[in-house]
Structures are given as structure tokens and as C-alpha cells.
Structure 1
Amino acid sequence: MAWLRNMKVANKVLTLIMLTAIFLSGVGYVGYYYTNQLEKSGEALYSERLVPVRLVNDMRAHSRANEAIVYARILTNDPAQSQKLEAEFTDRVQKLNDDIKDYDALVLTQYEKDRFAQFKDSLATYRTEREKTFAALSKGDKAGAYNAFKTYALPPLDKVNSLLTDLAAYNDKMANDSIQQMKSDKSAANAMIIGITIFAVVAAIAFGLLISRMVVGPVREMLGLMSRAEQGDLTVQSTNQAEDEIGLLSDSFNKMIAGVNQVIKEINTSAMNLAASSEQISASTQEIASGTQQQAQSTETMHEMMNQFTDAVQQVAQNAEQAAVNSEAAVTVANNGGEIIHSTIEAMRTISQRIEDLSGKSDAIGEIIEVIDDIAEQTNLLALNAAIEAARAGEAGKGFAVVADEVRKLAERSGKATKEIAALIESIQKNTADSVEAVKVGNEEAAQAGNSFAEIVEVIRQSANRVTEIAAASEQQAAQAAEVLKSVENIAAVTEETSAGTQQTSSTANELARMSEALSQLVSKFKV
């Protein structure tokens, strides 16, 4: 039955329809055939049996009527009645002759031909003998007419009636046989029609059930597989290998399931990779956010320290300016000491030039702090030297000693503030160098003790000039500190932006992780 299974569904249905049409055509043909046979049998029954029976019965009736008319003419004495009977007799004879002629024209069997020939011979004899009766009546001899009819005409007449009775009985029997044959044909036709109909119904039902099984079974299987696939089972496979439309549909279904299965596997793998990447991004973002927060706190701390440092430097600058103003009074008598102060200022400039750029670099900030601290120490040393020289100068150096003492105090305050800032910056600068080598400036001043007041005045002038330079350096340090503070503020702003971006990235990573989890849960519903 492989050929039927591989047949297209339309051809299967068409085959079932054609088979049903063939069976119906067979039933129709049998009905048509036997209907025609019954029609022919009916026509034959009418023309070959009923018509002969009618003609024989008519001839018998005419014969009996003529016999009665003969008796009536013998018995009647009324001439008018006799004429009427004679006219009726003549009409009957004519009708009898017509019936004989019609019967002789029919298709007769040999038995009928023999009997009918005997009938015509007996009828001719009867008519000949009957003339004797009519001759006696014409003479008025009724008794002679009766005796002649009874003696001569009646025996052939009885034979005529007997032959007609035989023909009637024979045709009646033949008609009954035809009717029985028609009934037999009808029974055979009914049996054949019923048999063909039953066979057609059984065959159509069997073939229909077979086709239905070949069509409905695979369709139900496909519905079941689709239902399982709808519930997420992507391991389903159709086993239908027929080459009809349903088989092709099953093959396409298998290919579709295989493709979807592969896509789901790829989606599952991608979802897992995406989840892992999202977790890694989230962890990295949290670490960055933590570092950024620490950096922001450190930047804030450094900002506060730089504010304190700037205030301290400005205070040093103001005090240095004040000391310079106070030293100007002694500048006129401190010419000899100008060279020493000038040398010190030149050393301070050399130290200032060696300070690196402080914008955005913690190491540079540390170096600046170290330079400032060194300047404070040098200033303190210069103040100490100035105090020593002032003590040597006696009364003339008291004013300068006061200035030197103020400079020393300012240097001490500046050094203390610088050390505090350096200590704070050291806690922030984890990745910077612990310290910057202090620039050692060998500024040995060979102060020759002498009795010359001019040398003492020169020392005082040099100290005054150095105070002036200190003031200028302090102003420069204040400007650089302002720039450092501005850089710190920029760093803080960038840190805040980085923190905001990090939070947004973390939120996006979390949302991506959540979507990956939802995708994984959705994909896990499929069985692959």
C-alpha cells in the first residue's frame, strides 16, 4: 500500500470519488439494463400474449354470439326480428374475420400456428355446414334448420370453440410464464443492484476509512507534535515518511523544529555569555565606582588641604611683604650685605624653577610641598643668620633683628603648615613617591667677622633683599597654589562625572543582567 500512502491527498480523494462513481455507474447500468429488459418483456407480454388472448377471446365471443344468433333466428317468428338478427350475425362474422386476420398477422409459436390452422379448417367446415341450417330457415322449416345445425354445424363449431379455448389457455400460460420471467428478472436485478450497492458501500467505506486513516492519522500526529512544540518541547520529530502533502508537511515540520532548536541553543548560549559578561561588567563597574568614590573623597580632602595651604602661603606672602617694607628702611645702610642676600635669592629661584607642574599630578603637588618646606627651612635659617648678624650689630641691628624674628616666625608657621599639608597629601598619594629629594643648595656664606660696620650693614642689606625675594616667591607660590587648587577642582568635577557615568553603567549592566536572566528563563522553557 506504499503507492497509496505516497499518493497526493487530492488524488486519494479523487480516487475515492471515482471509485464511488464507478460503483454508482454499475448500479445505474444494472438498473438501466434490467429496466429495459422489463420494458421489452412488458412489450412482448402485451404484443405476444395479451393481444393474442384478447383476439382469441374476441373470436370466442363472436363465435358464441353467432351461435346464439342462429338459435334465435330458428326460434323467432318475427320477420323484423329475424332481419335484425341476420344483420347482427353479419356484423359478428365480419368482426370475427377481422380478428382472424389480426391474429394471423401476429408472431406465433409453432403450437399456435398448428392450432390456428386447425381452427381455420374447423371454422370453414362449420360455416359450410351452417349454410344447411340457413337453407332450411329460408324454406320456413325451423325443425329442419334446428336438426341440421345440431347435426352438421354444431360438431365443427364445438371444435372451433375448443381450439379457441386451447389458444386462450396457451396464451394465458405463456403470459403467466412471461410474468414469472419478469419477476425472476426483477428479483435478479434487485439482487444484483442490492449486491452491487452493498459492495459499493462496503468498498467505499473501507477505502474511505483507509484514506481517512492515511490522512487523519498523520494529521493527528502533527497536531500532537505541534501541541508539544507549542509547550516548549523541541525534541519532537515526525515519523511520517510518505510523499504526499502531509508527508511533505511533516518533513518541513521536522526541518523547522531543527532550525528552531538550533536557534534556541544559540540564544541560550548567547544569554549565558551575556549574563556572565553583564556580571563581569557589573563587578568591574562597582570596583570602578568604589575607586572613584575613594578618589572623590581624596580629592575633596586634597581640596581642603590646598585651601589651607593657599591661605598659609598668602599669609607668608603678606608677612614677607611687611618684612620687606620694614627692611627698606635699612636697605640704605645694608649695601655691603646685598650680595649675600642676592645669592640667597638666586638659590631660591633655582629651587623654584625645579618645582614640577602641579596641575593634576599628586607627585607634582608633593614636590611643590617639599619645595615650600625647603623654602621655609631656608627662610628660617636666613632669619637665624640675620638674627645673629643683628646681634653682632648691636643697637643698630635691633630693628633688623625684629624683622628677622618675624620672618623666622613666619617661616616656622609656613613650615608647620607645609608639613601638615605634606602629611595629608602623603595619605592620599598611595602611588606617588614618598618624598622628593630636597634640593641642597650650598649657599655658604663666608661672613667675615670684622669690626667694619660696613660689612654689618652689607649683611643687613642682603637680608633685606632676601626678604623681598621671599615675598616675591611667596606670591608666586600663592599663584601656583591657586592653579593647583583649580586643577584639583577640575579633577573633582571629572571624578563626579566619572562617578555618575559609572553609576549609569552599573545600572545598565544590572538591567542587562536582569534581561539576560529573563531571556535564560524564557529559553529554559524549551526542551532541546
Structure 2
Amino acid sequence: MKKKPANFKSYGKSLLKKIKRMRYKGKLIQKLTLLIAAIFVVSTASSFFIYYHNQQVTNNSLALEEAADLQQRYTLLLSEVKQIGLTQLQLVTSGYESDRVENLQESLHLYEQNYNYINDMIEGDEALEHYFSHFGNAFSTYEELNERYFLPGFEYEDRDRVRSRVTPHIVRTEDNINSVDDRIHTYLENSIDEARSELHSAITTTTIITITGTVFLVLVPLLFLLLFGKNVSSGVRLVMDRIEAYKAGNLHFKQSKTRYDEFHDINTALEEMGTSLRDVLESNEQAGKEVTHVAEQTSKASSEQLTAMEKLLETIHHFSNELDQQTDFTTTISSTTEQVSASSQEMQSSVELMTSQVNEVGSTSNQGVALMRELQETMKQLNENTEIASRKVSDMEQQLNEISAFMEGIDNIASQTNLLALNASIEATRAGAAGRSFSVVATEIRKLSSETNEFSTRTKEILANLGEETIQVVSAFDSFLIKSIETLEKTDVASTKFQDISEKNNHLTTQYNEMILSIEQINEAMESVVESVSQLVEGANYLQKNNHTFKGVIEKQTLSQKELTKLIASLYDTAQSLKKSS
């Protein structure tokens, strides 16, 4: 019988160690971490560029607001300075009025505030500082005229003389103001136009950067996800090819592709499992053939033994008849003596032949016992190997569940992306025409999220199918283990029966030896029959008595031999079942 390799157990342990080490390898995790890091870097870079250009837009917008505010305050300042000059002319023309004097004081105060505020705004701008110096001079002139002629309670002694003194200062001041007004107005308009142009340019640039960054932010992660998904799909296909080949009965399957990650370890473990299973099946088939051969040989020997037993029983019946005739016809002692002597010699020859055949049966039974013990050891090893293979497939099922959990993470990312795109669409709708381009980008993001969900769904379906097939493999291993246990139990029964056959053959050999001794005694009695007829009668009676005992022993042995034949037939059926199960 072909035995398992001596190092099978150590080989199985090394295979389990490889499976355990495979769990701690992080190649796929490293790829996923790299994918997340790449997405984070791309997102951060895109966000930085978008934020930077948005800040440019904000700064230009603030600059435009400052220019518009400066123009507005300049308009107020110009209005105040003209109102001050007009009020002072009215006072020197129509005379003192308290309301106008109060308005003049208030206008001077407001003028001073606006002037100081504008000076703070234009600080560092030499051109505007030069232009607004005329407004400072105008304020000094009007302040001086106010203190000299227009303070509350002041009465003009000579209105014409005061008017002649005040009017030239007011006219000259207004002329100076008018001379710089056009230049200041032109300068401010140019500043506003320049700020507006820079703002428009910044908005255009920001829009382009935003669209480009968004597209880049979508396409690059999508490309990484597609590459990662293709890598995982290729690994699953690698494992599925081997599993499908094993399901088809091709345990010699060889992969044409090579990987260097966890899928390679799974494929290697499956390949080693297939090699181990193939060796087990071959050993099982060879054991079935050898057991069948032994059963056939034993059945043949048992049939021959049964034939010899029947022949011996027939001889004993004949011998019994002869003894009866000897008892009835004591007067024919010589003739009967010759017949008994001849029958005794024939019986001795038959007994010697039966003894030889019984010894052969005993030897065959001992060989059967040894073979059954070897078969028991083989079946025990087969059960252990089957349990190891079942645990390996269960470990693979757990890793498939971890991959399914990873796909759930991808679903969550896709859902968050879809929610982000929906919020972006809402904001784009609120923005109106300015958000149309961003709405298109949001729509594309939702479409990408939907496609990612579909990809994840298909991947999970494949993993679910793989999980179901793995469960079927585990079920097949369990069924095979049950059959192996049943075969082991039948082998134990066959071994017990072989042991019984051996013990019965030993007992039969002892009885045959006793029978030979009895035949020798019969021969001695036949030699002394001439001496005394009475002794002959007594010897005949004694022989007849022993003959009945011997006949009972032979009949019992015949029944035992028939039972042995049935047991051998059962052993043959067990061997055939073992061959079919392999």
C-alpha cells in the first residue's frame, strides 16, 4: 500500500504558518493608504490653489470697495468745501444769521473729519497727497476766515469792507479746488477702473483655477480608484481561476500570471492545498485497489477452504457409516480392519491437507489485520488533512469578508461624494447664472459617485459569489470528512472481523492437531485388533464416539467458514466504496 510522505504533517504546519503570516501582510492596505494619501494631496493642492485665488479676488474686491469709498468721501468733501464757501459768501452778503453760522461750524467740523479720513486712506500715494494738499489749504483758509469773521456773536461794522476782504479768498480757494477737481476725479476713476479690471481678471482666473482644480480633483482620484479596483479584480480573478479549475477536477492547474501581494499568497496556499489533496486522493485510490485485491485473494482462499470443509464433512459422514457397519458386523473383523485402516489413512491425509489450508487462511487473516491497521492510520491522516484544508478555506472566506468590508468603505466615500455634489448643486442654483459652470461640475461629480456605487455593487456581487462558492467548498470538505470517518469505522469493523478469523483459525488448528492425535490412536488400536476382538469392539465404540464429536467440530468449523466468506464479501464492498469515494 502506498503510504503518505513522512513529512506531510510538517508540510501541513508550514502551510498553516504561511496562511497566518499572510494575514499580517499589508500590501493591499499599503496600496489603499497610498491611494488615500494621493487623494488627500490632490485635494489639498487643489484647495490651496482655489483658496489662494479666492483671496486674490477678495483683495481686489476690497481694493475696489476702498476706491469707491474714497471717491464717495471725496464727493462729500468737495460738496462740503463748496457749501462752506457758499455759506461764508451768504453771511458776508446778507448779514449775520445764527442758523447759517451754526451750519458753517458743523460743515467745517464734518469737512475736517472727512479730510483727515481721506488723508489716512491716501497715505503713501504722492499724487493724491499733492492734489489733496489744496483741500488742506482750503480748509486752513476757511478756518481762518471763520475765526476772524464768522464766529457766533460777531457783528460786522463795515459789511462791504469785510465782503471785499473775504470774497477774494473764497473765490481763489474755489478756483484752486476746481483746478484739482478734474485731475482728482480722473485719478479716482482710473483707480476704480483699474481695480475693477483686476477684480474681473482675478475672478476669471479663479473660475478657471476652480474648474481645473475640480476636474483634477475628480479625475485623479477616479483614475486611482479605477487602477486600485482593477488590481483587486485581477487578484480575485486569479484566485477564482484556480477555484473553478479545482471545482472542475483539474488539481494540476497552473497559473499563467504572477502577483506579489496577498492574492499571490492565497493562490500559493490553494496550489499547495490542491497538491496535498491530489496526493491524498491518489493514496486513497491506491489503498482501495490494494484492499480490493486483498479482499479478492481472501475470498478465493475462503472459498477453497469452504470446499475443503464440505469435502471433509462428506468424508466424515462416510467414515461414520463405516463405523456403524463395523459395530454391526464384528464377525468380519479382518475385512473391517482393512477398511478402517484404509479410511484412517485417507482421513489422516485429508486432515493434513486441511491443516495446511487452515494455516494458509491464518496467514492470510494476519495479513488482513496488518493491512486494516495500515488503512486505519491512512484514514486518520486523511481526516487530519481534510480538517486542515477546511480551515484554510474558512480562513479565505474570512479574508473575503474583510474585502467586502473594504468595499463598504468605498460605498461610504461615494455616498459622501454624492452628498457633497448635491450641496454644490444647491449652492450653484442659489448663485444663479454665475454658478452654472459649477452646477455642471457638481452634476459630473454625482454621475461619478453613481458609477462608483455601481462598480462597488458589482464588486460585492462577485465577492458574494466567491463567498458562496467558498461555503460550498467547505461543505464538500465536511461531507468528505464524514465519508472518511464512516470509512474509518468500517475499516475498524473489518479489522475486528479479520482478528476474529485469525483467532478461529488458531482454534481450528488446535482441533485439527487433536484430530490427528486421535487418528494415530485409531491406528494403534487397529494394530492391536488382532489380539482381542473385545478390544476391537471397545475401540470401535470409542472411535464412533469420537467420530460424532469430530463431526460436530467439522460442522461448526464449516459454519464459521461460511461466516468468514460473508465477512470477506463485506470487506470487498467496503474496498469498492473506498475506491468510489476517492
TM-score normalised over the length of structure 2:
0.55
1-structure distance, mates of 2:346, 2:223:
98
**CA offset at residue 420 of structure 1?**
7.5
- Letter of the 2:49 partner, please give it: V
1:455-493 C-alpha deviation (Å, 9 max, x unpaired): xxxxxxxxxxxxxx9898333223333443344344434
Q: Which residue of 2 aligns with 1:55?
A: 73
Residues 218, 487 of structure 1: CA spacing in aligned structure 2 closer, same or farther, 3 A cutoff?
Answer: farther
**Conservation of the 8 A alpha-carbon contact between 1:122 and 1:156:** yes
Equivalent residue for 1:84, pick from 99, 117, 121: 99
**CA offset at residue 26 of structure 1?**
0.9
**CA offset at residue 285 of structure 1?**
1.8
Q: Which residue of 2 aligns with 1:65?
A: 83
Pairing of 1:394-473 with structure 2 (within 5 A): 410-411=331-332, 473=532
Q: Which residue of 2 aligns with 1:111?
A: 127
**Conservation of the 8 A alpha-carbon contact between 1:240 and 1:250:** no
1-structure distance, mates of 2:61, 2:303:
112
**Conservation of the 8 A alpha-carbon contact between 2:85 and 2:170:** no
- Whether 2:48 is the aligned partner of 1:29: answer yes
- Whether 2:521 is the aligned partner of 1:521: answer no
TM-score normalised over the length of structure 1:
0.60
**CA offset at residue 22 of structure 1?**
0.9
**Conservation of the 8 A alpha-carbon contact between 1:123 and 1:160:** no
SS in 2 for 1:242: coil
Large movers: runs of 4+ above 4 Å:
38-46, 74-77, 121-137, 139-149, 414-433, 469-472
Equivalent residue for 1:286, pick from 303, 306, 309: 303
- Whether 2:37 is the aligned partner of 1:18: answer yes
- Whether 2:303 is the aligned partner of 1:303: answer no
Equivalent residue for 1:495, pick from 554, 559, 571: 554
Residues 293, 471 of structure 1: CA spacing in aligned structure 2 closer, same or farther, 3 A cutoff?
Answer: closer
**CA offset at residue 246 of structure 1?**
1.4
Q: Which residue of 1 aligns with 2:274?
A: 257
% same residue: 14
Q: Which residue of 2 aligns with 1:9?
A: 28
Gaps spanning 5+ residues in structure 1: where? 1-5, 317-409, 434-468, 524-528
Equivalent residue for 1:188, pick from 197, 201, 205: 205
**CA offset at residue 217 of structure 1?**
1.0
Residues 432, 190 of structure 1: CA spacing in aligned structure 2 closer, same or farther, 3 A cutoff?
Answer: closer
**Conservation of the 8 A alpha-carbon contact between 2:309 and 2:558:** yes
**CA offset at residue 157 of structure 1?**
1.7
Equivalent residue for 2:570, pick from 496, 499, 511: 511
Equivalent residue for 2:187, pick from 170, 179, 187: 170
**Conservation of the 8 A alpha-carbon contact between 2:141 and 2:169:** no
Equivalent residue for 1:236, pick from 234, 246, 253: 253
Pairing of 1:289-438 with structure 2 (within 5 A): 289-309=306-326, 311-312=327-328, 316=330, 410-411=331-332
SS in 2 for 1:233: coil
- Letter of the 1:306 partner, please give it: L
Residues 221, 163 of structure 1: CA spacing in aligned structure 2 closer, same or farther, 3 A cutoff?
Answer: same
2-structure distance, mates of 1:51, 1:163:
19
Gaps spanning 5+ residues in structure 2: where? 1-24, 353-527
- Letter of the 1:59 partner, please give it: L
1:60-106 C-alpha deviation (Å, 9 max, x unpaired): 232243245346546767x5xx1111111112112212322222233
1-structure distance, mates of 2:302, 2:158:
162
- Letter of the 1:188 partner, please give it: T
1-structure distance, mates of 2:86, 2:540:
174
- Whether 2:228 is the aligned partner of 1:208: answer no
Residues 290, 194 of structure 1: CA spacing in aligned structure 2 closer, same or farther, 3 A cutoff?
Answer: farther
Pairing of 1:83-102 with structure 2 (within 5 A): 83-102=98-117
Moved more, 166-175 or 88-97: 166-175
Equivalent residue for 1:120, pick from 136, 140, 143: 136
Q: Which residue of 1 aligns with 2:156?
A: 138
2-structure distance, mates of 1:83, 1:152:
22
Q: Which residue of 2 aligns with 1:341?
A: none
**Conservation of the 8 A alpha-carbon contact between 2:108 and 2:143:** no
**CA offset at residue 12 of structure 1?**
1.0
Root mean square deviation, CA, Å = 4.1
1:224-268 C-alpha deviation (Å, 9 max, x unpaired): 311331343212223443221211222222222222222222222
Residues 184, 493 of structure 1: CA spacing in aligned structure 2 closer, same or farther, 3 A cutoff?
Answer: farther
SS in 1 for 2:245: helix
2-structure distance, mates of 1:145, 1:25:
73
1-structure distance, mates of 2:544, 2:206:
124
Residues 237, 133 of structure 1: CA spacing in aligned structure 2 closer, same or farther, 3 A cutoff?
Answer: same
- Letter of the 1:19 partner, please give it: A
**Conservation of the 8 A alpha-carbon contact between 2:67 and 2:188:** yes
Moved more, 483-492 or 222-231: 483-492
**CA offset at residue 168 of structure 1?**
5.0
**Conservation of the 8 A alpha-carbon contact between 1:268 and 1:520:** yes
Moved more, 300-309 or 222-231: 300-309
SS in 1 for 2:532: helix
Residues 298, 250 of structure 1: CA spacing in aligned structure 2 closer, same or farther, 3 A cutoff?
Answer: same
Equivalent residue for 2:214, pick from 197, 200, 204: 197
Alignment coverage as a number of residue pairs: 380
SS in 2 for 1:138: coil
1:406-444 C-alpha deviation (Å, 9 max, x unpaired): xxxx33xx56766777898899787599xxxxxxxxxxx
2-structure distance, mates of 1:300, 1:252:
70
- Letter of the 1:31 partner, please give it: I
**Conservation of the 8 A alpha-carbon contact between 2:323 and 2:540:** yes
**CA offset at residue 59 of structure 1?**
0.9
Moved more, 167-176 or 416-425: 416-425
SS in 1 for 2:252: coil
Residues 68, 291 of structure 1: CA spacing in aligned structure 2 closer, same or farther, 3 A cutoff?
Answer: farther
